[in-house]
Chains A and B, each alone.
Chain A
Amino acid sequence: MLEIRALHLKDFGPFKGHQTVRLTDEDGVTIVYGENMRGKTSLLNAIRFAFFGRVLGRGMKSTSLHKVGNWEQAAAGKFGFEVQLEFAYEDRPYVLTRSFRPRPGVTVPFGDVDYRLEHFLSKDGVVMGPQQGDAELKRILPEQIARFFLFDGELLQEYEDLLSSESDMGLRISEAIERILGVPVLTSARATLLTLRDKSEQREAVAAQGDQKTREFGNELANLHEQKKVLLDDIAKQEEKLEGRRSAKAGLEEAMRKKERLAALLDKRDTLNRQIKDVEVRLEVKRAELSQAMSNAWCALIRPSIGAVRENLVAREQDLQRSLMRDDVLRGLRLSGRSECPACMQEISEEARQRIESATHIHELDSRPARERELARIRRQVEAIGHFDALGKTDALRLRWQGVEQDRIDLATKRGEAEEIAKQLESVDEVELRQTRSDYEGAIREIDAIERAIVKARGLLETNKVDAARIQARLDKLAGTNLAGERKRRELYASLHKLFDEAVSAYRDQLRKQVEADATKHFSALTTEPEYAGLRINASYGLTIIHQDGNEIPVRSAGAEHVVALCLMGALQNNAPLRGPIIIDSPFGRLDRGHKRNIVRALPGMARQVVLLVYEDELPPDIAREELKGSLRAEWRLQRQSARHTLLVPRRD
Chain B
Amino acid sequence: MSETKEDQLAALLATVERLRVERYPVLDADMVREVLLAHADPSAPEIDLSRVVEKLIERYLTGQAGVANA
A496→B32 contact, CB < 8 A: yes
Q: How far is the CB of B48 from chain A (nearest CB, A)?
A: 10
Q: Decide if A523 is an interface residue (CB 8 Å cutoff).
A: no
A577→B3 contact, CB < 8 A: yes
Chain A residues with CB under 8 Å of B60's CB are 492
In A560-593, the 8 Å CB interface with B consists of 574-579
Report the bound CA distance from A182 to B19 in whole Å. Answer: 18
Q: Decide if A510 is an interface residue (CB 8 Å cutoff).
A: yes
B4→A577 contact, CB < 8 A: yes
The residue on B at minimum CB distance from A502 is: B19
In B1-24, the 8 Å CB interface with A consists of 1-9, 11-12, 15-16, 18-20, 23-24
Known: A186-B16, A192-B50, A507-B12. 13 other contacts (CB 8 A): A185-B9, A186-B12, A188-B49, A192-B53, A193-B35, A195-B50, A196-B50, A492-B60, A496-B27, A507-B15, A510-B11, A510-B15, A575-B2
A498→B53 contact, CB < 8 A: no
Report the bound CA distance from A196 to B39 in whole Å. Answer: 14
B57→A184 contact, CB < 8 A: no
Chain B residues with CB under 8 Å of A186's CB are 12, 16, 36, 39
B24→A499 contact, CB < 8 A: yes
- Beyond A196-B54, A577-B5, A577-B7, whether A499 also contacts B43 by CB under 8 A is no
In A119-145, the 8 Å CB interface with B consists of 135, 138-139, 142
B1→A193 contact, CB < 8 A: no
B2→A577 contact, CB < 8 A: yes
Report the bound CA distance from A138 to B43 in whole Å. Answer: 9
Q: How far is the CB of B29 from chain A (nearest CB, A)?
A: 11
The answer, among A138, A196, A499, for a CB contact under 8 Å with B27, is: A499
- Beyond A499-B24, A577-B7, whether A182 also contacts B57 by CB under 8 A is no
A495→B2 contact, CB < 8 A: no
Report the bound CA distance from A496 to B61 in whole Å. Answer: 14
B16→A499 contact, CB < 8 A: yes
Report the bound CA distance from A184 to B36 in whole Å. Answer: 11
In A183-242, the 8 Å CB interface with B consists of 184-186, 188-189, 191-193, 195-196
The residue on A at minimum CB distance from B54 is: A196
Q: How far is the CB of A192 from chain B (nearest CB, A)?
A: 5
Chain A residues with CB under 8 Å of B50's CB are 192, 195-196
Chain B residues with CB under 8 Å of A502's CB are 19, 23
Name 10 A/B residue pairs within 8 A (Cβ), A-sorted. Answer: A188-B49, A195-B50, A496-B32, A499-B27, A499-B32, A500-B16, A503-B15, A503-B16, A510-B11, A575-B1
Top 6 nearest A-B pairs by Cβ distance?
A189-B39, A577-B5, A182-B8, A577-B8, A188-B39, A503-B16
Q: Decide if B67 is an interface residue (CB 8 Å cutoff).
A: no
Report which A residues bind B (CB closer than 8 A).
135, 138-139, 142, 181-182, 184-186, 188-189, 191-193, 195-196, 485, 488-489, 492-493, 495-496, 498-500, 502-503, 506-507, 510, 514, 518, 574-579
What is the size, in residues, of chain B's interface with A at 8 Å between Cβ atoms? 36
Report the bound CA distance from A248 to B8 in whole Å. Answer: 33
The answer, among A193, A489, A575, A578, for a CB contact under 8 Å with B61, is: A489
Question: Chain A: interface secondary structure?
Answer: helix
A503→B19 contact, CB < 8 A: yes
Q: How far is the CB of A417 from chain B (nearest CB, A)?
A: 54
Chain A residues with CB under 8 Å of B49's CB are 188, 192
B35→A574 contact, CB < 8 A: no
Chain B residues with CB under 8 Å of A579's CB are 3
Chain A residues with CB under 8 Å of B36's CB are 185-186, 189, 500
Chain A residues with CB under 8 Å of B61's CB are 485, 488-489, 492
Report the bound CA distance from A518 to B20 in whole Å. Answer: 28
Chain B residues with CB under 8 Å of A577's CB are 2-8
Chain B residues with CB under 8 Å of A138's CB are 42-43
B53→A193 contact, CB < 8 A: yes
A495→B27 contact, CB < 8 A: yes
The answer, among B4, B35, B40, B42, for a CB contact under 8 Å with A496, is: B35
Chain B residues with CB under 8 Å of A181's CB are 2, 8
B39→A185 contact, CB < 8 A: yes
Chain B residues with CB under 8 Å of A185's CB are 9, 12, 36, 39-40
Most buried by B among A182, A488, A495, A514: A182
B32→A492 contact, CB < 8 A: no
Q: How far is the CB of B18 from chain A (nearest CB, A)?
A: 8
Report the bound CA distance from A496 to B36 in whole Å. Answer: 11
Report the bound CA distance from A22 to B27 in whole Å. Answer: 54
B43→A498 contact, CB < 8 A: no
Q: How far is the CB of B10 from chain A (nearest CB, A)?
A: 10
The residue on B at minimum CB distance from A191 is: B46
Q: Decide if B26 is an interface residue (CB 8 Å cutoff).
A: yes
Report the bound CA distance from A77 to B57 in whole Å. Answer: 64
The answer, among A135, A182, A192, for a CB contact under 8 Å with B2, is: A182
Report the bound CA distance from A155 to B70 in whole Å. Answer: 65
- Beyond A138-B43, A182-B2, A192-B49, whether A499 also contacts B23 by CB under 8 A is yes
Report the bound CA distance from A488 to B6 in whole Å. Answer: 33
A139→B43 contact, CB < 8 A: yes
Chain B residues with CB under 8 Å of A182's CB are 2, 8-9, 11-12
Q: How far is the CB of B47 from chain A (nearest CB, A)?
A: 10
